[in-house]
């Protein structure tokens, strides 16, 4: 059970995390929440409502793009993009809210505003982030990334990607435990597409059970990513089938949370996977 600021996630079964990018330069939706050149709060809130209705039990709100080549934004700008929406969702919806940030200040403010989870692509390596996360009392997802968003896809290189990603995540877990974040508050994300080639991503997916051996919940995100385009030759708006296939493969290999932009379709895929898994275990024997 993952305790998220008054709400709990039962990780004995998988969950769907819906992505809400409050950035004007998102790779996935092209800043669709900026119809008039500024963030439309009501549009963003309606997207949150829709995702919860479609089956998301976690919403991941991010105010700084981490697409390849993305440049950092100021803490003030990130806060203005994230916190008002987070506060509205916390008041109106029964859902765990994840804040996708590496900023210590945003972590602290988000925790006070109703966030239940910190999702950090930099794995609390920014100065002050470890201390802020520890003080928040929230669970934290630690992600692996080689380099930074501005340059991570320039020339990713590993001698053994699985071994190196696993070693990095183990090291970050040790640092977090020493810094006051207990193990039961940690999740891991291999960082598909973050400083990895297509071959690296596929190797990590195949070896996902090795990462699961750490005994911590795995959060994975493949939604609409370029690896699908490279594999299938699909443009961004044609990548849903590939995203679903990768999600189901990840579930088979031990993933606990699937991060996605397409909640309804992903929730259906998870439900079917779960039905098969449970009928094998005898939990659905009464269904005709």
Domain boundaries defined on the chain: 7-274
Question: Comparing 20-24, 114-118, 125-129, 227-231, which segment has the lowest mean pLDDT?
Answer: 20-24
* pLDDT confidence band for 48 (50 / 70 / 90): very high
Compute the mean pLDDT over every residue in the chain, rounded to the nearest whole number: 91
Decide if 96 contacts 7 (C-beta within 8 A). yes
Residue 193 tokens, joined: 């597409």
Residue 27 banded pLDDT, cuts 50, 70, 90: low
Structure confidence at residue 160 (pLDDT): 97
Phi and psi torsions of 265, nearest 5°: -65, -40
Helix (H) or strand (E) holding 224: none
C-alpha 232/C-alpha 219 separation (Å) is 24
Catalytic residues: 225, 259
pTM reported for the whole predicted model: 0.91
Say what the pLDDT of residue 280 is.
58
Q: What angle do CA 276, 58, 153 make, to 5 degrees?
A: 90
Q: Give the CATH fold of the 7-274 domain.
A: TIM Barrel (3.20.20)
| Cα 202 to Cα 228: distance, rounded to the nearest angstrom | 11
Band (pLDDT 50/70/90 cuts) for residue 288 is very low
How many CA atoms lie within 13 Å of 156's alpha carbon, on the beta-carbon side?
25
Q: How confident is the model at residue 198 (pLDDT cuts 50, 70, 90)?
A: very high
Whole-number pLDDT of residue 68: 67
Reported as a pLDDT band with limits 50, 70 and 90, residue 151 is low
- Per mean pLDDT, which range of 74-78, 95-99, 192-196, 283-287 is the poorest? 283-287
Q: What whole-number distance in Å separates Cα of residue 107 and Cα of residue 9?
A: 20
Which secondary-structure segment (H or E) carries 21? strand 15-21
Once rounded to an integer, what is the mean pLDDT over residues 221-245? 94
User: Given CA atoms 247, 252, 253, 256 in this order, what sign does their dihedral have?
Assistant: positive
- Average pLDDT value for residue range 42-49: 94
- What is the share, in percent, of the chain residues with pLDDT greater than 70? 91
Q: Is 283's pLDDT higher than 60? A: no
Confidence of residue 67 (pLDDT cuts 50, 70, 90): low
């Amino acid at each position: 059970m993952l305790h998220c600021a008054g709400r709990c996630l039962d990780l004995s079964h998988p969950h769907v995390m819906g992505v809400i990018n409050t950035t004007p330069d998102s790779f996935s939706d092209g800043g669709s929440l900026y119809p008039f050149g500024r963030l439309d709060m009501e549009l963003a809130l309606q997207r949150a409502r829709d995702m919860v209705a479609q089956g998301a039990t976690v919403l991941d709100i991010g105010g700084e793009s981490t697409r390849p080549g993305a440049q950092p934004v100021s803490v003030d700008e990130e806060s203005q993009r994230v916190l008002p929406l987070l506060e509205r969702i916390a008041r109106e919806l029964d859902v765990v809210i994840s804040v996708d940030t590496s900023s210590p200040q945003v972590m602290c403010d988000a925790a006070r505003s109703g966030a239940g989870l910190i999702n950090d692509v930099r794995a609390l390596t920014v100065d002050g982030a470890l201390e802020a996360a520890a003080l928040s009392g929230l669970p934290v997802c630690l992600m692996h990334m080689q380099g930074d968003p501005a340059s991570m896809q320039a020339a990713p290189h590993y001698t053994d990607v699985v071994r190196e990603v696993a070693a990095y995540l183990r090291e970050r877990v040790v640092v977090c435990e020493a810094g006051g974040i207990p193990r039961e508050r940690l999740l891991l994300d291999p960082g598909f597409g973050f400083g990895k080639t297509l071959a690296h991503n596929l190797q990590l997916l195949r070896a996902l059970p090795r990462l699961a051996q750490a005994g911590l919940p795995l959060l994975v995100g493949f939604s609409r990513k370029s690896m699908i385009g490279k594999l299938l030759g699909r443009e961004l708006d044609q990548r849903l089938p590939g995203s679903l296939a990768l999600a189901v493969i990840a579930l088979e290999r031990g993933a606990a949370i699937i991060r996605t932009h397409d909640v309804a379709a992903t929730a259906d895929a998870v439900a079917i996977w779960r039905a098969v898994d449970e009928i094998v275990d005898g939990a659905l024997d009464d269904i005709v």
